[in-house]
Amino acid sequence: MDIYLIRHTEVAVGRSMAYGQSDVSLADNYSEQLARLQAHLPNDPYAIFSSPLSRCRRLADDLSVGLAAGSQIEIAPGQMAVVDAHRPVVQFDNRLIEFNFGDWEMVPWSEISRTALDAWMADFVTVPTPNGENFQDVFNRIEAFWSDKILPLANQSNGQPLFIVSHGGVIRALLCLFLGLSLQNAYRINLDYGAVTKLTLTGSSYTIQYINR
């Protein structure tokens, strides 16, 4: 079973703000990035799972609507017909939400105490943000989501792929799960906005086909 991990498109606040679980607007290039994503994705997913935050919700819904728009087939030489495509229902799961920055939510990184920020960055796996999460918390809920929602589908999808629309932190946590990477090294993995990572699940084995395409 092929699984496509899809990071949401670019956001309007940019990279200078801690906006983990806050709902933020998308950048003006959303339509362009959506079209690029659609060109890199198959048109027959068995299911789409998504973070409920609006930047993922919109993308997941638009991907699903695009699949339902129908495709053309040739029924006779030079004669085309439009057939309805399967529209997978988007399943939203709170465990796919981004890292919770707690009191730092919607605060520019430059305005956060340097002492507090340095202490957190030195050990973000076990040190939580003020009234927020640490990365182990993110990993634990992602691991639970994977066990509850994805593994049971391995033998039910009839070979069709799955889409997971989520956030940079979540996708990095999943890659740590698949590859057995240290959580401390998760952010060494580059993930662009509006990028796709593909893996294949065969039994209990994972094969990473590509990252950040």
Q: Are 186 and 83 in contact (CB under 8 A)?
A: no
Stretch 58-70: mean pLDDT? 83
Stretch 135-145: mean pLDDT? 98
**Rounded Cα gap, residues 198 and 33, in angstroms:** 18
Domain extent listing, the chain: 2-70+85-210
Q: How do residues 152-185 score in pLDDT, each as one tens digit?
A: 998 788 889 999 999 999 999 999 999 999 999 9
Helices 168-179 and 135-145 cross at an angle (nearest 10°) of: 70
Phi-psi region of 162 (alpha: psi -120 to 50; beta: other; left: phi over 0): beta
Q: How do residues 37-60 score in pLDDT, each as one tens digit?
A: 999 999 999 999 999 999 999 999
What is the reported pTM? 0.90
Residue 115 has pLDDT above 60, yes or no: yes
The fold for domain 2-70+85-210 equals Rossmann fold (3.40.50)
**Rounded Cα gap, residues 29 and 24, in angstroms:** 15
